[in-house]
Chain A
Amino acid sequence: MASIENPVAELPPPSASDLAHGEVLYSIRDLTVDYATRAGTVGAVDRVSLDIRKGEIIGLVGESGCGKSTLGKALMRMITPPGHISGGELLFAGEDLMLASDRRMRQLRGARIGMVFQDPMTSLNPLARIIDHLTETIQTHESTVSDAAARDRAEQLVARLGIRIERIDDYPHQFSGGMRQRIMIALALALRADFVIADEPTTALDVIVEAQFLDLLLELRDEFDLTILLITHNIGAVAEISDRVAVMYAGKLVELGPANAVFGETKHPYSQGLLQSVPNIDVDDVDLYQMAGSPPSLVHPPPGCRFHPRCPAAMDICRTEEPAFLKVAPEQATACWLYSKGRYDE
């Protein structure tokens, strides 16, 4: 385990920072993650391909069991047994993380890829003060940084994130939920990470605090050209800050595109149903969509398209053949037989 006594070696010059805004930072190709359970092998993520571009906020939405959290963990190679990544490539700034050693992953985590979790109380050490969390993280990864310099950096970060500077010596339990999430971001940014994976960061927060937090994420993205993967089931939050939106269902990616397109011209029937299930406080007299059935078993998924048992537009081919994930509009892709005819080629 890396620690102050046993610091991880200095990082090679960051190549990711050389990427221009909009270039591909993290390329995921055919990622598959399986879990071994008593009932059989659960295919939590099945051949998902996705390119994450520098400086974008990409929202990954889906309901419980769709595999979005598993995907987030897989990107940091934090899948623990009985789960394992059984296939695919994870190309982060050109480096295939599937081939990286444990040591290399430890270098990357925190320093290049940061993660913010749902419940900050369990991610923070209750016995360490906030300043200690920050300085230890900094000094473990960058051993040449002095105590004073580390403290300076920590204080700057804390101030930037809207935490009162005099509270830097407090313990995690003395902060509210919203504040703790800010501390998690501070930790993620302490090492100037390029890429932050936020897994349900606002689920435990109140509405106003959540709105403040989302605003903060936008500001940080603009200031640092941060890339953020926002994993959540909160459709409204995704609509508020995402540039692009990806929708997952039963372990598969079913739709991907710019937020305006995915919300305005939804392609996949599941996404349509999902978005129409969400209450909209701005709109009057609209019925909420009632989606029939329930998510399929991931041990024995239905043949063909996994959504077909619940799809009002299911055709014969949907029951037997799995649709490929294809581009169907300039910026949009979906996996649905309804669009295979009008396939968009560049």
Chain B
Amino acid sequence: MSEQERNTPLVEVGGLTKWFPVQKGFIASLLSHGQIDNVRAVDDVNFTIQRGEVLGLAGESGSGKSTVGRLVLGLLEPTKGSVKIDGIDLNGLGREELRRMRKRMQVIFQDPLASLNPRMTIGEAISHPAQIHLPDLSSSERMDLVLETLEAVGMSPARFFYDKYPHQISGGQRQRIVIARALITRPELIVADEPIAMADVSVQSLLLELMVSLKEKFDLTYLFITHDLATTKYICDRIAIMYLGEIVEIGPLNEVFKNPQHPYTRALLAAVPVPDPRHRRKEPLPRGEIPNPINPPSGCRFHPRCPIAVEGICDVDQPRLKSAEDVEGHLASCHLRTGAHKDLDPTRTGQH
């Protein structure tokens, strides 16, 4: 690959927005004079992923992270904005072209039992993508590829598992099958949506280890979507924190964890349970709960729960992602921390 190609980001997301119209009953829509409410699942999201990088996308429920994942894969059409994979805008592709594009980008969903067809054997499930995207392979060549991939994800003896059905194997094994299915076409990008969340604790570490080693072996790029910040430490290079459809902080993982700028990031990091009874939480928890994404708060969406919000600024103006002064590539959207009102930042004025 040429130097220039190496430098083009594999994934480029610009202004990505997805609004879902709320289904209303007939009478309700009459009463609201035809006004349509939208669930603002994703609002003006921008980021890039370089080849070979693992970008973590973290957030709680309603943050829009899963929706971003599906948008990146082209499983959903954006309301506004664009997704470019290797420079190719997915919007501009016809249906057939988009289908063929799938050879290069695959997905791992959260629930392995639900994402495997219960009536297909493991062998069939894994070889199906190969049938679609590698039509030149003979069926025996294809089977060899499937067996090879099964061994690569740690399922041995591969031939034994080839004829089994998903319900005949354990949960952790199933997720390996899902990973194998994602790998069979040797894609460049894998979007992993909570890939280990449903496995047992001890199996989670095995799966994480597997994903890390596969990344090396097959030269993969991951978009790693999760709600568990602790696991991101083991696999992610950079991390983006999402809240209510927006990215509130993004940067190299170690930087973001050591010097979190956005108050929400700080709260999230503080709330992560630590498997050490001596550990005491350093930050107070924000009040209240995540608001309704149909009617997000005005201005900065976090302001009703933010411990340092300033009236007149935070509830009025929308903050933008701006660089934190210390590190290149570390951005946060907070008026006080990185925005125009740094003079009011309590950590700087010594009040916090």
A residues whose Cβ falls under 8 Å from a Cβ of B: 63-64, 176, 178-179, 206-212, 214-215, 233-237, 239-240, 242, 259-260, 263-264, 273-275, 277-282, 284, 288-291, 294
Contact = CB atoms under 8 A, between A and B. Distances in A.
B279 A282 contact: yes
A274 B272 CA distance: 18
Contacts of B234: 279, 288
Given A237-B273, A282-B279, A288-B205, A63 B229 contact: no
B101 interface: no
Interface SS of chain A: helix
B140 to A, nearest CB: 31
Pick the 8 closest A-B CB pairs, nearest first.
A236-B273, A288-B205, A206-B60, A279-B230, A211-B271, A259-B277, A63-B200, A291-B202
Nearest to A282: B274
Interface in B243-296: 257, 267-279, 281, 285-286, 289-290
Given A206-B61, A206-B227, A280-B230, A288 B274 contact: no
Interface string B226-240: 011111011000000
Given A208-B60, A210-B273, A214-B273, 4 more contacts: A236-B274, A277-B205, A279-B233, A288-B234
B39 interface: no
Most chain A CB atoms below 10 A, which of B272, B276, B281: B276
Given A207-B268, A208-B285, A291-B206, A280 B201 contact: no
A237 B271 CA distance: 10
A281 B61 contact: no
B282 to A, nearest CB: 10
Interface of B: 60-61, 170-172, 200-206, 208-209, 227-231, 233-234, 257, 267-279, 281, 285-286, 289-290
A259 B267 CA distance: 25
A263 B276 contact: yes
Nearest to A243: B277
A149 to B, nearest CB: 31
B271 A277 contact: no
A234 B271 CA distance: 14
Contact of B273 (A240, A290, A294): A240
Contacts of A215: 285
A37 B203 CA distance: 26
20 contacts: A63-B202, A63-B203, A176-B290, A206-B60, A206-B61, A207-B229, A208-B60, A235-B273, A237-B273, A239-B273, A239-B274, A239-B275, A242-B277, A259-B277, A273-B202, A278-B275, A282-B276, A284-B233, A289-B202, A290-B209
